[in-house]
Chains A and B, each alone.
Chain A
Amino acid sequence: MSRIKPINTKAQKIAETVHRDVRGYAFSDCCASFAPGWEVGTGDNPDPCPWKHDLQLCWVTCYWMGQVPDTNSYGSWLDTCNNINDDWRNLCTIPDNG
């Protein structure tokens, strides 16, 4: 949206909402539109990145199982990634929970 710049708080909020509420109309740069899970509504999830939606939401709300981590063996797999922006590197590591 390089030609239209939101300049007050309300505009920024609306612009963000638009990015989050993708539902099949738009996608962010990092992910192709056919990746599973991104199309589930993400009302409360503040991350615009569809990747995280796949990883967190897919196994709960989506029938598509392709990218679902093995949550049975590794129940706390996401604990090291509270914030996708800061902690994304941790996503590749399975926490050693003994």
Chain B
Amino acid sequence: MTLVKDELVPVVQAGAEYVFHVPTSSFYELDATTRDVLEAVERLDSVPDSQLSAAVSGSTGADETEVTEILSDLVKLRLLVPRDTKGSADTDPTPRGTGVRNLTLHVAHNCNLNCGYCYAEAGLYKGKATLMSVERAREYVDWLFDQADPDARELGVTFFGGEPLLNFPVVETTVRYAQERAQRDGKRVRFGITTNGTLITPVISDFLRDIRATVTISVDAKGKTNDRLRPYHSGRGSYDIVMDKIQPLLESGMCAARVTVTKVNLNVVETVETLLEAGFTEVGCSPVDAKNPAYDLDGKDYAELLEGFRVLVARYVDEAAEGRRYGFSNIGNILKAVHNGHNKEYPCGAGIQMVAGAPNGNMSLCHRFVGEDEYVLGSLEAGGLDEAKRKQMLDELALKERSDCSKCWARYICSGGCHHVNFLFNGDPQKTYLTHCDWLRAWYRTGLEAYAEILQRNPAFINQFIDPGWVCRN
């Protein structure tokens, strides 16, 4: 047996040294001697274990008894491992073969806006404009409750589109129906809606408040820039109208914003600041994947985006040092992953605890796969999910099948990236879209640094805001 350094990512933050252990996603602070010992072990590659303490002591100048103790601790923490087990991981168990807990209902395949980058082609999803019928929506709700695991105490329904509020009567009836069903089954049901905000009325605001929905408004920037990206079919801009309509919801602190970042609105710092000031509680940014050079970011744009994100992270950390939470969701989510040491086989819940239901009764891997026949996992007509197909798809999508990711240090946090992005660019969700990866790794590293800095400046913040009890509204 020869001990070697396991896969570690060194992180330096304000003079302190850390290592992130890739196979377990555990994170340690080290003193300088320990760092020297680790480096020496790497240098002294072929020294037999029995002579390692002496050799490391000779090479670092540290006292041999001390070195022995450090080596033993490093072995216990698996930071030093026998060569043949290097990189072998401990992934978190994935709740597979269990019931779906979150259903995304596509209540309207149509949209009153005409965003140039929309992956669903103005909400149509490769089909004709359709609204989901009340009966269909009820069938979905019944299916969700019928197949739920007995120990699933809370189920979720997200209204999605196109623009779901084009079909508000169905949203309303479905919510009431699901609430009744939940009461009968002794479960809770939670609602979410992702909307462009243009159709919100005082009645709808009251309704959403009443059911305590998680409301996500798609908005891309302030004023004119948003209007270039998110116009009506007539070409008229939507920003002022949206901000006016959602005012009551903003005042109740109920809205999160989802910003799609394109070449046109790369100034994320200004966007996030403006939207938080306007009253959004959270703002999350996601780079567009439109397969259209007018919108998709190139290498230079990604560098600029990372710069912007880092400015926002610095702001987040400064606020955290004062015990306040800055609503930049992207970093909040990474900090949670770092804190818990997420070590996942799958990037998201698609097909695992979450599926999407189309107006025609077909259920897909997730909302973005609606309209792609190959990724239909079942249908109401057939009585639910085709479990054999679901299993096969999940087996294929598991991280361990991704040879592209097998050498990447971020693989257990990222887990191979969004299936839909991979599908869109490579025609197959299993084939990693590597163009993003340098960016992703730089971003995850920023997350590790931010975590370390918050621990230095205000460790109580982590327990208060990042610990599992606190649920992010995205």
A residues whose Cβ falls under 8 Å from a Cβ of B: 1, 3-11, 13-15, 18, 26
Contact = CB atoms under 8 A, between A and B. Distances in A.
Given A3-B33, A3-B34, A18-B77, A11 B340 contact: no
Interface residues of B, number: 28
Most buried by A among B73, B79, B452: B73
Interface in B337-394: 338-341, 343
A6 B451 CA distance: 13
B431 to A, nearest CB: 29
B455 interface: yes
B34 A11 contact: no
Nearest to A11: B26
24 contacts: A4-B29, A4-B31, A4-B34, A4-B70, A4-B73, A4-B74, A4-B79, A6-B28, A6-B77, A7-B451, A8-B338, A8-B340, A8-B341, A8-B451, A10-B341, A10-B343, A11-B24, A11-B26, A11-B77, A14-B26, A15-B76, A15-B77, A18-B77, A26-B76
Interface string B156-186: 0000000000000000000000000000000
A10 B76 contact: no
Please name the 8 residue pairs, one residue from A and one from B, whose CB atoms are nearest each other, closest first.
Answer: A10-B341, A11-B26, A18-B76, A8-B27, A10-B26, A5-B29, A3-B31, A3-B34
A4 B340 contact: no
Interface string B13-42: 000001001001111111101100000000
Given A10-B341, A10-B343, 12 more contacts: A4-B31, A6-B26, A7-B18, A7-B28, A8-B26, A9-B340, A9-B341, A10-B27, A11-B21, A14-B77, A15-B77, A18-B77
A63 B114 CA distance: 77
Contacts of A18: 76-77
Contact of A14 (B18, B78, B339, B451): B78
Contacts of B28: 4-7, 11
A9 B21 CA distance: 13
A26 B69 CA distance: 11
A6 B78 CA distance: 12
A1 B79 CA distance: 13
A11 B27 contact: yes
Contact of B70 (A3, A7, A15, A26): A3
Contacts of B25: 8, 10
Contacts of A11: 21, 24, 26-28, 77, 341
A95 B78 CA distance: 43
A3 B338 contact: no
Nearest to B335: A8
Contacts of B72: 26
Most buried by A among B79, B340, B341: B341
Contacts of A3: 30-31, 33-34, 70, 73
Contact of B339 (A5, A6, A9): A9
B352 to A, nearest CB: 21
Contacts of A1: 73, 76-77
Interface in B61-76: 70, 72-74, 76
Contacts of B455: 7
Contacts of A13: 26, 341
Given A3-B33, A3-B34, A4-B34, A10 B77 contact: no
B456 to A, nearest CB: 10
A6 to B, nearest CB: 6
A5 B73 CA distance: 11
A4 B72 CA distance: 11
A6 B72 CA distance: 15
Contacts of B70: 3-4
Contacts of A8: 25-27, 338-341, 451
Contacts of B18: 7
Contacts of B27: 6-8, 10-11
A48 to B, nearest CB: 13
Contacts of A10: 24-27, 340-341, 343
Nearest to B38: A4
B338 A14 contact: no
A13 B25 CA distance: 11
